[in-house]
Structure formats: C-alpha cells, structure tokens
Chains A and B, each alone.
Chain A
Amino acid sequence: MFTPLETASGRQVTFNFDGREFTAQEGTPLAAALLGAGVSEFRSTPVSASPRGPFCMMGACFDCLVQIDDVTVQACMTPVRDGLVVKRIPRPDVSAEPHDSAPQGSENSREALRA
C-alpha cells in the first residue's frame, strides 16, 4: 500500500519488530519503514485494546507508539538504525477486571459506610 517516493540510495539495515526482521534504509522513520513493509497495526490501546497505527506521521498524534528498551516512543520520530529491536506494546487483557481482593471484613465496612 505504501511505497517510497525516492529509490533507496542509502545503506540498507536490518531491524526487528515484534520478533520479525525487517530491512529499511538507515535513518528512515521507523513508522514509515513499518508501513512500507505492510505493517499498519502498531499497537492496541492500553484501556480498550482497540488497534492503532500511524496517523499524523509528524510527532503530534501519539498513535504510532512502540517500545524500545521498555520505553514507549513514537515510531514516526524514531530513525531506523542497524540492529534496532522494537517491541509491540503489550496488549492489555481487557476481559479481566483488575485484581480485586479487598481485605476481609471490608464488605461489612462498606455496609457501615452506606448506613
């Protein structure tokens, strides 16, 4: 779907996204490199787990987020370099409620609160 406007002339390097190897010209924005390789879904949102990919490509929308060294970064603002390891942000388990284990006796306390 996405193709580069200019023929690649720079050094071709390899990077890893979500366990897969990709090749791109060094310095290409990571978001552009992934889109060029056919990856459009970069992450799931942390609250509702709905899919997200690049939208603005200029650092404004924060939708193209990925993780490098456990830190969330914008893929459109990250130049590809050789050996870069990029992780997908872990998909949240939205089916499960957050752990809810109020101390024993708290139900009574809650009754007291309502009373």
Chain B
Amino acid sequence: MTTLIIGGGVVGLSIAFGLLQQGKSVLVLDGGDGDFRASRGNFGLVWIQGKGVDCPSYSNWSRRSAGLWPGYAEDLKKLTGIDISLSQKGGVDYFTDETELKDRIAALESLKQAVGGDYPFEVLDHSGLKKLVPEIGPKVIGGLYSPMDGHVNPLLLLQALSSAVRRLGGDLRTGAQVVGIEAADRAFSVRLANGDRAEGEAIVLAAGLGASELGPELGFKAPVRAQQGQVLITERLPFFLNYPSGTLRQVNEGGVQIGASKAEIGADDREDLGTIAKLARHAVDVFPHLAPVNLVRSWAALRVMSPDGLPIYQRSTKYEGARFVTCHSGITLAAAHARLLPDWVVGSNQVPDLSDFSEARF
C-alpha cells in the first residue's frame, strides 16, 4: 500500500519520514520552484511560550513536539549525517512596552493554570534580563524567559528530511505539481501538471497554501489563507546570542535573523522598504550594538494560516484514507508529525487525540 503525500515541505516530509520509519511505502509529490514555500522562508523556531493562549490543547501538542525534537533531530543526523543545529536552551521574548509585558505575563499565567501548572517561564526585569543577555539596550524594560523554547536551522532541516525520505526508500518527486485528484475510498489517482499520474491507497494533503484548491476534491474545506512575514539577516557575527526570541535569533552560521512582520495582503511575497526599516529598528532597539552591522539579505514568505491560527488535522468524511494536515508552525510541530502522526494517518489504535483540531470548528 502506497500513501501519496501532496506537498514536499517540512510538514509533508516529516509525515513521510515517520511513515517510512514504520515500514510504510510513500510517494511524496513536491510542487514547482515557483510555488509559495513556507519551508524555505520561515524563521526556524521551535517555540512554545505564548502559543495556545486560547487553546491549551495546542499548547500541549506543541510542547509534546518540543519534547520529541531531540530524538527526531538525532534520527535525522544518524540517517543523513546532517546536523540541523537544534538548540533548546530556552528562549527570551523582549519587551519595550510595560502594558504589552503585563498582558503577556497574564496570558502565560492563565495558560499555566489551564495546562495544570507545568509551564515553566520566568519574568525578568531589565537588570535580570541583562544578566542573561548582556547586550540588551536601555529601551528593553524586561522579558520572558522559558526553557521550553529553542530553534533550528530550517533549511538544513528541509535538506535532511529530503535526504532521509530518499534513504529510507521513499519516492520523492520534485516539480510534481498536482492539478487534479480522482478519489474513491482507498483508491486515489492524482493528475500532475506535466500529464503524469500517480496512484495510492491513502493520501495526505499537506500542500500548504495549495490545499485550499485541492482540499474540496477530497472532501475538505481546507480554509487556509496567506499571511505575509518578512525576515532580514545580518552579516555573520561572533556568537553572542544564546537564546532565540520570536523576533531575533543568531543562526548557527553567525548571522542574526530579524523578523517577522505580519501582513494580511494575500498571496504577495514581495518585501518593502518600510517593513524592512521597521524590523531593523526593532532589532537595534533590543540590541544597540547591531546598529552599524550590515544586512546581507531580506525576504518575504507566506504563513499558512487557518481562520483561528491553529493547526487542522482532518480525516475525510467523504473518502476513507484521505487526510488533511496544515499548520502555521510546521517546524515546532515537525517532531510530532514524524513521530505521532503516522498512527493517525494509517488509522491504527494508538492515535493521538487530535479532535480539537478538526475542520468541524469552522
């Protein structure tokens, strides 16, 4: 039995990797280079604090994935020799506004209660934070440290996953844009843009923004929209930053990555100088010593967002064997997707409970 996976990004490949580790046969259909690819433009965080403030089960699911990440990264390294630079020493969010900090503390406290108290984070004032991160500037009034957070090199992750899938005997086809699906229970036939076809007994739709078009053919609503984010990266600097934040992290090659804007402008992945300047200003507010540092690159990418920002895991009610997976945090959730989702995909008994993330909520 072959499982077709539509989408060769981090989400689709993680599921493929997990299925292959269980001895299943997979065919991954990856789209064209001109497609929108969150897997090539994302910020690379394995991030927990603040996620799921209104949905504790999302917090728990993310946390479970973060706990599985070390083993997942180790599996990839053993199989491919690629070290994807996972670091989970904790993360820090920086605040320059008293009200924003107070609101965030309240949100984290309430989430901590909701998940049963096991939710480590620490509130640091300016001087406490300066001990942890001496480079912060005077505009930073304080921050939130959580040992739950981390980061990874997302491009190395994508490379390692592609390599791992092929090494385990998976069929990964690039430039394979799916334009149509003929579905029946346990019999799926997809049509590619070049006229080829591919067949499988199960199918996982993990096509990011492409899912909104293909979803209905498998009985899914697939309500996803694009949210643009822009990211900058500096020249390589000597290592100074141990802890990533939601907006600033020093990557394993030395550059400081600065992000990330949020713009509801549809499927538009062009950068603009105004946004770039705003991001750079924020970086210099937090770390004044970055002021004379050169930026070497900037880019925009599109987040794949459901209406409430939470993931969707949906089994088709129309065709047995069809699954739909989409999420904004494909990096954070990659370990859970590889280790836990295969059981849900093949429909065996040990399924993780993903009922909070069904499409029925929309």
Chain A residue at smallest Cβ distance from B66: A113
Interface positions of A from 52 to 85, Cβ below 8 Å from B: 69-72
Neighbouring B residues of A70 by C-beta, 8 Å = 292
Contact A101 B236 (CB under 8 A): no
Interface positions of B from 81 to 137, Cβ below 8 Å from A: 88-90, 118, 120, 122, 124, 128, 131-132, 134
Neighbouring A residues of B134 by C-beta, 8 Å = 99
Closest CB in chain A relative to B152 CB, distance in Å: 16
Is the CB of B293 closer than 8 A to any CB of chain A? yes
**In the bound complex, CA of A92 to CA of B132 (Å):** 20
Contact A102 B89 (CB under 8 A): yes
Give per-residue flags for B193-222: 1 if the beta carbon is below 8 A from chain A beta carbons, else 0. Answer: 000000000000000000000000000000
**In the bound complex, CA of A105 to CA of B123 (Å):** 13
**In the bound complex, CA of A16 to CA of B145 (Å):** 45
With A100-B89, A103-B124 given, is the CB distance from A45 to B236 under 8 Å?
Answer: yes
Closest CB in chain B relative to A103 CB, distance in Å: 5
- Taking a contact as CB atoms closer than 8 A, the residue among B132, B242, B254, B292 that contacts A71 in the complex is B292
- Taking a contact as CB atoms closer than 8 A, the residue among B122, B148, B238, B240 that contacts A103 in the complex is B122
Is the CB of A5 closer than 8 A to any CB of chain B? no
Is the CB of B241 closer than 8 A to any CB of chain A? yes
Neighbouring B residues of A114 by C-beta, 8 Å = 67
With A71-B292, A71-B294, A113-B147 given, is the CB distance from A102 to B238 under 8 Å?
Answer: no
**In the bound complex, CA of A101 to CA of B237 (Å):** 21
- In which size bucket is the chain B interface? 20 to 34
Closest CB in chain A relative to B73 CB, distance in Å: 14
Neighbouring A residues of B75 by C-beta, 8 Å = none
Contact A47 B122 (CB under 8 A): no
Task: From A69, A103, A108, A114, name the one whose CB has the most chain B CB atoms within 10 angstroms.
Answer: A103
Contact A112 B118 (CB under 8 A): yes
Contact A72 B254 (CB under 8 A): no
Contact B239 A98 (CB under 8 A): yes
Neighbouring B residues of A69 by C-beta, 8 Å = 292
Is the CB of B235 closer than 8 A to any CB of chain A? yes
Q: Which residues of A contact B (CB under 8 A)?
A: 45-47, 69-72, 90, 92-93, 98-103, 105-106, 108-110, 112-114
Known interface pairs A72-B293, A102-B89; 9 further A-B residue pairs with C-beta atoms within 8 A, sorted by A's residue number: A47-B254, A70-B292, A90-B238, A98-B239, A102-B145, A103-B122, A112-B118, A113-B67, A113-B120
Closest 9 CB pairs of A and B: A109-B120, A92-B238, A109-B147, A47-B254, A70-B292, A46-B238, A98-B239, A46-B236, A106-B147
Query: Could you give 28 example pairs across A and B, Cβ below 8 Å?
Result: A45-B236, A46-B236, A47-B236, A47-B238, A47-B253, A69-B292, A70-B292, A71-B292, A71-B294, A72-B235, A72-B293, A92-B238, A98-B239, A98-B242, A101-B132, A102-B89, A102-B90, A102-B145, A103-B124, A103-B145, A106-B122, A106-B147, A109-B120, A109-B147, A112-B118, A113-B63, A113-B88, A113-B120
